[in-house]
């Protein structure tokens, strides 16, 4: 289907629909519409790899050309005990990607959260460094040539741009990030290497992120890109800061990726994606249990459309845009920062049907 025909179908659906109820089928593909611009991806769960999510099955290969393991490749998933590795699920994920002709972004080698329990109890600096070094060498080495990129280090910065006092910083010192990139490059030289964080489009944290990238570069260590996670809130997407960040990061000679994109619609009293933060359930905590009001549906569609127009403006600097989930039912925002809520942050609903936001993103490609 050519772009012009897709556009007419899209326009008819947008003008005629009242919410998602009248949208019957997907007539366009994100990966096709943006094939000359940047990769389009989604975070994929173990349930989806197993084929137990019918709503996602057809969407994954139809809509996306790259996938990220939502949890499958994190440290706690791969390291059941000291000296032991379990690659069974990660290997299945790689096989799934190959079978569906999808590129892979590995996520993530070094992250202070979702560490295996045994690693948190390591007291010896030498033993902790062994854990750190062996993990990178074994994991990145095993999947060398099988992943297109790695989020080498994830969320190492505080909101003010200083280094987070994680077990890695406390045990290994402030050179651990450059060391992680160096080790990954040694065992996986053909893989793009990224630093990934949330809120690093905000000026203070962005400045810290730029300083961190420069330090890695000045150490003579390869870093190919920075991931801006993109966990934003409807009606409050920081477009000005996003554009400034794209320009400033690209000026360092690296690629930019939007790595964990979702636009939240539920009330929250803080920004970002710090998984340790929680909120108490209140009367208005879960306002859209049955459906999303048309006004909010329109706002999230407008936000997504404006965002993709901005990304297209700087497509020469953008390598990839990855949504953090395939459809609303999978989204981590249903259970964080309050468990059991009904959120609507993605382009497809719980049945895998396209929302107005999907068609807004498709329409943005008509420039």
Mean pLDDT computed over 213-225: 98
Helix (H, G, I), strand (E, B), or coil: what is residue 109? strand
Which of 18-22, 136-140, 144-148, 225-229 is least confident?
18-22
How far apart, in whole angstroms, are the C-alpha atoms of residue 325 and residue 42?
5
* C-alpha–C-alpha distance, residues 271 and 198, integer Å: 9
Domain containing 160 — which CATH number?
3.20.20.80
Query: What percentage of the chain has pLDDT greater than the value 90?
Result: 87
Q: Tell me the pLDDT tens digit for each residue of 33-72.
A: 999 999 999 999 999 999 999 999 989 999 999 999 999 9
Domain with 338, as residue range(s), is 3-13+29-266+285-364
Dist. CA 246–CA 210, nearest whole Å = 11
Taking only the tens place, the pLDDT of each residue in 183-206 is 999 999 999 999 999 999 999 999
Main-chain phi, psi angles of 180, to 5 degrees: -65, -40
φ, ψ for residue 156 (rounded to 5)? Answer: -95, 0
Residue 130: both structure tokens together: 């062994």
Q: Which sequence positions are flagged as catalytic?
A: 155, 260
Q: What is the DSSP string of 321-367?
A: EEESSSSGGG-GGGSSSSTT-----SSB-TTSPBPHHHHHHHHHT--
In a domain, 278, yes or no: no
- CB within 8 A of 361, min separation 6: which ones? 30, 304, 305, 308, 347
Residue 125 lies in a domain: yes
Has residue 277 been placed in a domain?
no
Query: Tell me: the pLDDT tens digits for 82-101?
Result: 999 999 999 999 999 999 99
- Residue 18 domain flag: no
Whether residue 99 is contained in a domain is answered as: yes
19 in any annotated domain:
no
Q: Which of 242, 367, 347 is nearest to 23 (CA)?
A: 347
Domain assignment present for residue 205? The answer is yes
Of the pLDDT bands very low, low, confident and very high (cuts 50, 70, 90), residue 150 is very high
Q: pTM value? A: 0.92
CA distance 207 to 251: 13
Phi, psi of 228 (to 5 degrees): -95, 115
Q: How far is residue 44's CA from residue 286's CA, in Å, rounded to a whole number?
A: 25
Q: Given this model, what pLDDT does residue 20 score?
A: 37
Does position 8 have pLDDT exceeding 70, yes or no? no
Is residue 324 assigned to a domain? yes
The whole-angstrom separation of Cα 367 and Cα 364 is 7
pLDDT in tens, 287-305: 999 999 999 999 999 999 9
CA distance 223 to 214: 10
**Burial degree of 113 (CB within 10 A; 0-12, 13-18, 19+):** middle
- Per the CB < 8 A criterion, the answer to whether 242 and 249 are in contact is no
Considering its fold, how many domains does the chain have in total?
1
């Amino acid at each position: 289907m050519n772009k012009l025909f897709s556009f007419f179908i899209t326009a008819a659906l947008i003008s005629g629909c009242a919410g998602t109820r009248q949208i019957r089928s997907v007539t366009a593909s994100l990966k096709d519409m943006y094939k000359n611009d940047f990769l389009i991806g989604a975070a994929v769960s173990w349930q989806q790899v197993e084929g137990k999510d019918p709503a996602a099955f057809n969407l994954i290969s139809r809509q996306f050309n790259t996938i990220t393991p939502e949890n499958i490749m994190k440290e706690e998933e791969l390291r059941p005990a000291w000296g032991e590795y379990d690659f069974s699920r990660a290997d299945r994920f790689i096989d799934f990607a190959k079978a569906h002709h999808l590129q892979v972004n590995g996520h993530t080698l070094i992250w202070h959260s979702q560490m295996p329990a045994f690693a948190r109890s390591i007291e010896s600096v030498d033993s902790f460094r062994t854990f750190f070094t062996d993990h990178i060498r074994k994991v990145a080495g095993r999947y060398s040539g099988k992943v297109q990129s790695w989020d080498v280090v994830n969320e190492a910065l505080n909101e003010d741009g200083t280094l987070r006092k994680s077990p890695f910083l406390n045990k290994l010192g402030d050179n651990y990030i450059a060391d992680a990139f160096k080790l990954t490059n040694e065992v996986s030289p053909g893989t793009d290497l990224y630093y990934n964080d949330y809120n690093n489009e905000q000026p203070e944290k962005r400045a810290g992120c730029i300083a961190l990238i420069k330090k890695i570069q000045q150490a003579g260590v390869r870093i190919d890109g920075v991931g801006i996670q993109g966990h934003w809130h409807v009606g409050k997407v920081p477009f000005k800061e996003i554009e400034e960040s794209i320009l400033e990061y690209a000026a360092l000679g690296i690629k930019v990726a939007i790595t964990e994109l979702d636009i939240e619609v539920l009330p929250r009293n803080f920004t970002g994606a710090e998984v340790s933060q929680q909120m108490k359930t209140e009367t208005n905590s879960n306002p859209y249990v049955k459906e999303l009001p048309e006004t909010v549906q329109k706002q999230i569609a407008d936000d997504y459309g404006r965002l993709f127009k901005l990304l297209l403006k700087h497509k020469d600097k953008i390598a990839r845009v990855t949504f953090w989930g395939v459809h609303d039912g999978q989204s981590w925002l249903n259970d964080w920062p309050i468990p059991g809520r009904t959120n609507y942050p993605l382009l497809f609903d719980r049945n895998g049907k396209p929302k107005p936001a999907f068609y807004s993103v498709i329409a943005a490609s008509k420039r």
